Structure 1
Amino acid sequence: MNNDLRFFNYFLFTQYSISTFEKCPLKFKKRYLEGIKWKSVISEEIKRRSDIGRNFHLMARRYFLGIDTGLTSGIEGYEELSKWLEALKSHFPKTDDALYLPEYKLRMAKGTLRLEANFDLVVIKNDGIEIWDWKTQGKSKSNKPWDDKQKGERLKGSLQTMVYLFVLKEQAQRVVQREIECSDIRMFYWHPDPARILAEINYSDEIHEQFGQALKSKIDGILQYDYESFDKELYKKNCLYCEFNWFCNNERVDFQAVEEDEDFLEELDWDSIEELR
């Protein structure tokens, strides 16, 4: 009998778990198959910044549900959150002709394509469906702003984009009780300060087919991977930021380097923080 959790029907892949495997199969094994999660990967400064981002997600959810956001002067990052919420309300005035689904989760299983997507916001309109994702990491410790054009291109081809659009199209009929064409689906990445769209993706049948093939190939690769063949040297560059660095290399995480690495901070979004804890 095979006890490898990868082969159980209830094991669902997220964009972060797939990304974790690509960065280091051993890290995937320890975190997802053995269930080992250590909190030491993030410093107090990164934790503070992620807490502000998490609070924004919570307040955005409350706003779209039509309840009090809970913003009070004693909360961490009050000034930032106030500004972000005003930008959100200005950019997203709620209308009666749209249905807002904040913090919405969808799951699907089609053969080995067992996927879960956790959306910040799904907006159902008469002419289609929109996915919105909040990106609240805006600057590195050096206070250098992200390059929006470069970031936008990375977001368009990211695993998150693949998983979110593919899962939504596959499950769209369950969400809206009618057939939805790929061309009726769009995805946006939005940053609150300054308020702007970082990337907009218009979906299509061709992209859907490409995403499906790419995701199946990635998941099949994970399912077929033989951990006896693991070669640590192939993934050495990712050790610096890994919570298992002590286990593998007897070295601690370099928090100063982490806080100054823009690529790392860019990927350290709401979903990844949740899975790291």
Structure 2
Amino acid sequence: MKDLRFADYFLFTQHSLTTFEKCPLKFKKRYLENLKWDNYLGEEIRKRLEMGNNFHLMAYRYFQGIDPGITEDVEGYEELDSWITSLMRNFKKDEKKRYLPEYKLRMSKGILRLEANYDLIIIDGDNVEIWDWKTRVKDRENTKRDENFQRIRLERSLQTVVYLYVLKEGIKLLTQKEIPWENISMYYWQPEPKKMLAEINYSDKMHLDFERQLKDKIQRILEYDYSNFDKTLYKKSCTYCEFNWFCNNEKIDYKKMEEHEDFLDELAWDDIEELI
């Protein structure tokens, strides 16, 4: 069987890179063997996923100049209505700007075969902005310490690394010209309560560092020998892993685990969205 890690058409994403770091076997099952989540996800998980997906769809329609199309029979109507209202109030469309919602950008440079899926790219002359919507931030009274921790986590995340690096490498495809480093930025934003979670301004130093990080991570994936996989090194990831059956002969009962207060907040929601 051909090892897809070395196929020219195999592209690494923030999700696949993160998955490998959590567990190489999970990466193999999901991305090389193309095994996906079964239909055993609990009802509460599905509701949250549906709401998040509906918000992204409505945001896409708004920036495309289409009515968002929310109706009262949609799951979580009241909350969704407040989210999209918040977005439309804070992102007044400007005819001078170019909006690219739900935009996919790919690049290839040696072993760096990457794909980034952006919630929104805004092009305003020589300025380019990446916007990412976060709709599942835990509803609690955040302290300054909590907010600072979250900001730092987002700034250092693989999503930030992949999104900014891929954008800069493919900037000419969007603008037909080079854009100065300092004119590229990325924002994490939540609609309700309205909050800027993180703001990252790009630089040439960051680009070189991101390239080094990505090369190191991808090289490790390409060189990994699955015959030497040691599950004890990744036991922490087994708790919510859909492939727990392969390693420990145990299935995860997500419906039962939903009863635990912190379970839903600990799930990697972006990963789930990509896998189902």
Task: State the match for 1:207 in structure 2.
Answer: 206
Match of 1:264 among 254, 263, 266: 266
Q: CA deviation at 1:186?
A: 0.2
Q: How does 1:1-277 map to 2 (within 5 A)?
A: 3-40=2-39, 42-139=41-138, 144=140, 147-253=146-252, 255=254, 256=257, 260-261=262-263, 264-265=266-267, 267-269=268-270, 272-277=271-276
TM-score of the superposition, structure 1-length normalised? 0.93
Q: CA deviation at 1:127?
A: 3.5
Q: CA deviation at 1:263?
A: 6.1
Contact 2:49 2:273 in 1 (8 A): no
Q: Structure 2 vs 1, CA of residues 67 and 214 (structure 1 numbering), >3 Å: closer, same or farther?
A: same
Q: CA deviation at 1:68?
A: 1.3
SS in 1 for 2:100: strand
Aligned pairs, number: 270
Deviates more, 1:246-255 or 1:18-27: 246-255
Runs of 4+ in 1 over 6 A off after TM superposition: none
Contact 1:30 1:36 in 2 (8 A): yes
- Equivalents in 2 of 1:163, 1:53: separation in Å? 22
Contact 1:240 1:254 in 2 (8 A): no
Identity %: 58
Q: Structure 2 vs 1, CA of residues 211 and 19 (structure 1 numbering), >3 Å: closer, same or farther?
A: same
Q: CA deviation at 1:268?
A: 1.1
Structure 1 counterpart of 2:115, which letter?
E
Q: Structure 2 vs 1, CA of residues 240 and 41 (structure 1 numbering), >3 Å: closer, same or farther?
A: farther
Deviates more, 1:177-186 or 1:196-205: 177-186
- Equivalents in 2 of 1:126, 1:106: separation in Å? 20
Q: CA deviation at 1:149?
A: 2.1
SS in 2 for 1:122: strand
Q: Structure 2 vs 1, CA of residues 228 and 145 (structure 1 numbering), >3 Å: closer, same or farther?
A: farther
- Equivalents in 2 of 1:173, 1:260: separation in Å? 44
Q: CA deviation at 1:145?
A: 5.3
Q: CA deviation at 1:260?
A: 1.2
Contact 1:138 1:145 in 2 (8 A): no
- Equivalents in 1 of 2:261, 2:105: separation in Å? 32
What residue ranges of structure 2 are gaps of 5+ in the alignment?
A: none
Contact 1:113 1:219 in 2 (8 A): yes
- Equivalents in 1 of 2:198, 2:185: separation in Å? 11
Q: Structure 2 vs 1, CA of residues 85 and 243 (structure 1 numbering), >3 Å: closer, same or farther?
A: same
What residue ranges of structure 1 are gaps of 5+ in the alignment?
A: none
SS in 2 for 1:3: coil
SS in 2 for 1:241: coil
